[in-house]
Amino acid sequence: MPDRSDVVYSYDGSFRGLMTCVYESFYAREIPGNIVSWSHGQATLYDVKEIKTDSEKARKVMKAISEKISGEAMTFVYHAFLTCLCGREAHILDFIYLGFKYGRKVMRMLTDETVYILNKAVGHLLNETALLRGFVRFSDFGGGLVATIEPKNNVLPILKYHFLSRYPQGFFLIHDKTNSLLLIADRGKSRIISVDGFTPPSAESDELRYRALWKSFYDTIAVEGRENPKCRMSHMPKRYWANMTEMSDRQGRGLFLERGLIPEGK
C-alpha cells in the first residue's frame, strides 16, 4: 500500500464515482489524504483531484473486489458506502487495499481497526434498515401509499426490497428527508430519485379514521402496571417517533376525540 499523499479526491457522491476513485488510486499509486463528494465542496489546503465517474473503471474495480477478495466483501463495500460514517470513503479505500493484500480472510479480521470501524457502521445501517421495515408509516391517498422517513443512513437502496415484496401490486412512495431521496414504486418496479422537497397531500377522512383507530389500539395494548418507558425507548429510539402515526403529535388526540373518532374515556 503506497503512502498517504497530500492530494484529495473529489467525486460526484455516487457509488460508481467512489469505485472510480479506487481505480485512480490504484493506477496512480497514491493514497489520497481524503475522498470527498462534490456536494461537500469545502475549501481545503490540499491539492484537489477531480475524479470523473467512469462506469467501465468502476466495473473493473467491482469485479476485482468480487474475485480477489470475495462477493461478501463486495456487498460489504456497497453497504459501507450507504452508511453515515464520517469519512467513509477513505475507510472503504483502506479496506479494499487491505482486502487485496489478505484476500477473503479480511472479512474475519474483526479486530483490525479499519474492518472494525466499517463493521460497526454497516451494523448500524443494517440495524436501522431492519427497524424501519416496521416503523415506516404509510398514508393512503386514494390507493397510493406515501411515507416519510428521516434515517441516519442511506437506507432506501436496501429497504426498498422489503416493501416491494410486501406490496407487489401496489403503488407507493417513500420520501427520505435526510438524504433528499424519493423511492417511487409501481407494481414491483422501482427507482430512487433525488428531490429537493416533497409534500404529501393532506389526509382525507378515511385516512384520519384509520390513524385514529391505530392510535387507540396502541394505547389499549400496553398492560397497566408494567409501564417501562426506558425499555420502549431503547427498542424504539425517539428520533423515529416524529414519523410514526401512534407517537407523533400525541396532542392531536384531542381533535380526534372531538370528532368522535375515539371513544371517550379511552
Partner 1 sequence: MFDTEVINTDISEKLAILGAAAKYDVACTSSGVDRAGRKGGVGSTVASGICHSFAADGRCISLLKVLLSNSCVFDCSYCVNRRTNDIKRASFEPRELADLTMQFYRRNYIEGLFLSSAVIRNPDYTCEQMIKVLEILRNEYRFMGYIHAKAIPGADELLIRRIGLLADRMSVNIELPSQKSLQLLAPDKSKEKILNPMRTIQRSITESRTELVRYKSAPRFAPAGQSTQMIVGASPETDYQILTLAAALYRGYGLKRVFYSAYIPMVESRNLPALTTKPPLLREHRLYQADWLMRFYEFEPSELLDEKNPNFNPFVDPKCSWALSHLDRFPVEINSAEYETLLRIPGVGVKSAKKIVAARRSGPLDFEGLKKLGVVLKRAQYFILCKGKAMEGVRLSRESILRGLMSDRSMQLLDGLAGEQLSLYDNETVTRADVIKCLTGQM
From candidates 79, 129, 135, 148, binder to partner 1 by CB under 8 A: 135
Task: Assess contact for 107 and 72: CB atoms under 8 A.
Answer: yes
Query: Which C-beta is closer to partner 1: that of 40 or that of 238?
Result: 238
Distance CA(148)–CA(155), nearest Å, equals 12
At its nearest, how many Å lie between partner 1 and the CB of residue 222? Answer: 4
Query: Which C-beta is closer to partner 1: that of 62 or that of 164?
Result: 164
Q: Pick the closest to residue 141 from 208, 225, 93 (CA basis).
A: 208
From candidates 83, 153, 216, 243, binder to partner 1 by CB under 8 A: 216
From candidates 71, 87, 134, 201, binder to partner 1 by CB under 8 A: 134
Distance CA(78)–CA(255), nearest Å, equals 46
Phi and psi of 176, rounded to 5°?
Answer: -95, 100
Give the strand pairing for 8-11 and 34-37: parallel
Q: Which stretch binds partner 1 (CB under 8 A): 4-12, 54-62, 88-96, 218-226?
A: 218-226
At its nearest, how many Å lie between partner 1 and the CB of residue 172? Answer: 9
Distance CA(182)–CA(195), nearest Å, equals 6
At its nearest, how many Å lie between partner 1 and the CB of residue 56? Answer: 34
Q: Which stretch binds partner 1 (CB under 8 A): 12-20, 77-85, 88-96, 108-116?
A: 108-116
- Number of residues located near partner 1, criterion CB under 8 A: 56
221 lies in the binding site for partner 1 (CB under 8 A):
yes
Q: Which stretch binds partner 1 (CB under 8 A): 32-40, 87-95, 138-146, 175-183?
A: 138-146
Q: How far apart are the first and last CA of the chain?
A: 66
Binding mask 63-102 for partner 1 (x = CB under 8 A): ---------------------------------------x
109 lies in the binding site for partner 1 (CB under 8 A):
yes
**Chain positions contacting partner 1, by CB under 8 A:** 102, 105, 108-111, 116, 130, 133-140, 145, 147, 162, 164-170, 188, 210, 212-214, 216-218, 220-223, 225-232, 235-236, 244-247, 261-263, 266
